[in-house]
Structure 1
């Protein structure tokens, strides 16, 4: 029996939640061959990851499940992207440099943010983890970024985010970039204290945050 688009979208969402890595590619191909919209299919995968985020917050899922679910979502997105013509620079909503400051080697959260931003039509320059603050500025200058994102999972590297904003101020670059921060030990209160432009508790909220910060119209 032929599935409706709604049934396919639910199946895509479920595949992410239940870590169905062996089924996801065939499901995406089947969805595409049925003639349904590619971006809506990607949204179905993201919806699944939002459910996963809720399960993580409720402590029903933990880091290992989060990683596996993110892998399944990425597999699906990669397959969907084979159906999308290559983007030009002008087609992106903006360019974002993201990385994990020096002293922190955890990048699960950063990886999820990257997936969400790319799915939301942002160009993402991922400079990796354990990165000196100078590299963030160099990458932002090189790629003409509007936004710089710093992610940290360790409280010991939180001062680096404060120091980064101070460096921008010292170089008269603070007004040139929007700075967003995130990670398990980071809070809205901390973001306000250091003068960051934005913070999200969940990677699934980052696209909406940047749309607001950059005054982009939403559909």
Structure 2
């Protein structure tokens, strides 16, 4: 069992989606996350173990490499694609409750900002680490965040912005959420965002990279 889980983790780390995928070159013609996940289920490996001992370690390793500038956005996107392909096989087990997710993370790019690459990257990393992700998209108003938080009790919310001009909206949205749901946990991120800004607007967490956010989220359920 450990061998196949280790192989799944490697497929996620290096972005090996399936046997037909030419990337990465050193894994050409090998089975990928798709085949190995299906095989593991057929061999009686639990969906929970595939998630926590296969997919999540792979995503954690690529997240740390990204933080250390050892890989770049394209490699992370390939890892996320491999992870998503494997998750298709696990989705039925999420629906039955057999696989327990750590919690719910709501994310959106704030009102006035139409950038979504960073948000999408974070969404993939968080989902790959065992969280349910509710992606509200781009140009998201305060009311939409608040409505989602009321619908998903105890969810953590992430606000993304890529422009200095939309940081004003991030501050306004964070304060509106705090006024409506005082106990809400708010994480902020994006190119112009800093820890000082996070502290000033009363958010709970800031990270310069997706792995830092994953570590913050995991600390809430440890």
Structure 2-normalised TM-score? 0.76
8 Å CA contact 1:96, 1:149 repeated in 2: yes
8 Å CA contact 1:117, 1:124 repeated in 2: yes
Instruction: Kindly indicate whether residue 142 of structure 2 is the aligned counterpart of residue 133 of structure 1.
Output: yes
| Change beyond 3 A, Cα 1:19–1:204 | same
Other-structure match for 1:182: 189
Q: Displacement of 1:108 after TM fit?
A: 3.5
Match of 1:82 among 83, 92, 97: 92
| Change beyond 3 A, Cα 1:107–1:19 | same
Other-structure match for 2:8: 12
Other-structure match for 1:24: 33
**C-alpha offsets along residues 79-137 of structure 1, whole Å, 9 cap, x if unaligned?**
1223445349xx76654432111233333443344445556665443211122233222
For residues 71-110 of structure 1, the aligned pairs below 5 Å read: 71-87=81-97, 94-110=103-119
Q: Secondary structure at the match of 2:96?
A: coil
Tell me, in whole angstroms, the C-alpha distance in 1 between the residues paired with 2:126 and 2:96: 16
Other-structure match for 1:36: 45
Tell me, in whole angstroms, the C-alpha distance in 2 between the residues paired with 1:93 and 1:70: 18
The range that moved more, 105-114 or 127-136, is 105-114
Aligned length in residues: 207
Extract unaligned runs of 5+ from structure 2: 19-31
| Change beyond 3 A, Cα 1:37–1:64 | same
Q: Secondary structure at the match of 2:182?
A: helix
| Change beyond 3 A, Cα 1:94–1:31 | closer
**C-alpha offsets along residues 39-78 of structure 1, whole Å, 9 cap, x if unaligned?**
2211221221222223323333222222222111111122
Q: Displacement of 1:33 after TM fit?
A: 1.9
Tell me, in whole angstroms, the C-alpha distance in 1 between the residues paired with 2:127 and 2:96: 13
Other-structure match for 1:161: 170
